Structure 1
């Protein structure tokens, strides 16, 4: 089993200019957040429970190697840095997810991330990872354990409530920095990690993804104008278009392919799709 710890390299002490709003970062104060360190600890424990491999990956410039050296020191089997500039990572997390998966040599069984990054804090990258992998997602967990062949998590809800989840791989989990800390590295492991060479991957194609089953195309919903009617019944009629005159459907049976093409082109011209 391949367990991936997706770590975010970001400035933990970024400053903002009060006049211009410019965000100033410094590589010397950059690294993994508390949530990412907890995610690494969970990934190590899951890999140990399933007798698998733990791979730590991050997206960023060469300065991000320090995050991966720490992962090597505490027990990660492999590390990969995906080469990318900070300007290329979008705020919605979709580009980060694409770069992360593009840099992996194999398809992961479990991905563990922090619940949100310290620089942008959107927390959307785990959801994009799950969508690209076609995996189940368990987001915002305060507990994550292994029970047999399954994973069990506890998620925080509003009003002091908790939600218990039971799921299996493939899965993407995001964890909060709750009552758990990253294990301490030994001195020999720290020295070895300082001397280790960090593999660098450059974004390419998702070569490890296998084609799945086909599914029907789902078009995006249309944006409808707000109805002006006050009564709920009239508003419903306006939204559904029940009172709008429509052209009745027409059944045509062209005798030749040329006639069928002419019918199709005439239809497109009448509705403004062709000239």
Structure 2
């Protein structure tokens, strides 16, 4: 069995690892010890991103791969997922943090599962193995759900009660000199498109008529719409996705968004 931990490199952090990635790394190490599995750490970024891989190697991960991408390219979750999927050899289980400390979208795990053709369980609180992978996730209202997830799978982990183990001194020293495989990501740039320059989008100012009324209180009511009639909220329970889509389209037509 091969367990891969996909780590997000964050330049602003001293160790390069966020809390969610540290939690995913510890889960990978625990499962590997229980299952006697091979382990691989992978990240995407420029050469300084190897710091997170050396942290993983010092903690006990067996091997490491860096996918060579620029810092700007790592902001695209779908591109990162495609590059990671091309770099790792048929993993049985991929673990990663459910979000990054640099306010990322957290979409990379889902993109990665799609790229690998694997099952996914996102936002896990705990991962255990009892003949099969058991994943516990958080639900609204303080409830929990437990899933039995088949392999291969991609699981993202919340930074819950699990803390990354302290690396040993021999592990730290060995990790400093360890060889890290560098995988060159395939280019996805379309040569038919040339970008001359980029600038921040500034929408035109929309002219809004002033509120009617002579008194400030009247104008304030007009601005806030406190006296306007609104459709009361209603709760719908569609039977399936098709009925839900039909309900949404009917609402958009009713309010003039669709013809």
The two structures share one fold, judged by TM-score above 0.5: yes
Correspondent of 1:107 among 90, 95, 109: 90
- 5+ residue gaps, structure 2, are 188-244
Question: Rg: which structure is higher?
Answer: 1
Residue matched to 1:178: 160
Residue matched to 2:30: 45
1:151, distance to aligned residue in structure 2 (A): 0.6
State the SS of the aligned residue for 2:72: helix
Quickly say closer, same or farther: Cα 1:99–1:229, change in 2 above 3 A: closer
Residue matched to 1:267: none
Q: Deviations over 1:189-223 (max 9, x none)?
A: 11111111221111249xxxxxxxxxxxxxxx9x9
Residue matched to 1:133: 116
Residue matched to 2:82: 98
State the SS of the aligned residue for 2:65: strand
Distance 1:86 1:178 in 2: 28
1:49, distance to aligned residue in structure 2 (A): 2.1
Correspondent of 2:107 among 117, 124, 127: 124
After TM superposition, the score normalised by the length of structure 1 is: 0.67
Matched residue count: 198
Asked whether the 8 Å contact 1:35–1:114 carries over to 2, the reply is yes
Quickly say closer, same or farther: Cα 1:194–1:229, change in 2 above 3 A: closer
Distance 1:42 1:152 in 2: 12
Q: Residue 161 in 1 paired to residue 147 in 2?
A: no
Distance 2:129 2:17 in 1: 24
Residue matched to 1:68: 53
Quickly say closer, same or farther: Cα 1:63–1:152, change in 2 above 3 A: same
1:116, distance to aligned residue in structure 2 (A): 0.5
Asked whether the 8 Å contact 1:103–1:204 carries over to 2, the reply is no
State the SS of the aligned residue for 1:86: coil
Q: Residue 142 in 1 paired to residue 132 in 2?
A: no
State the SS of the aligned residue for 1:89: helix
Distance 2:128 2:78 in 1: 27
Provide the aligned C-alpha RMSD in A. 2.4
Q: Residue 200 in 1 paired to residue 182 in 2?
A: yes
Distance 2:72 2:12 in 1: 18
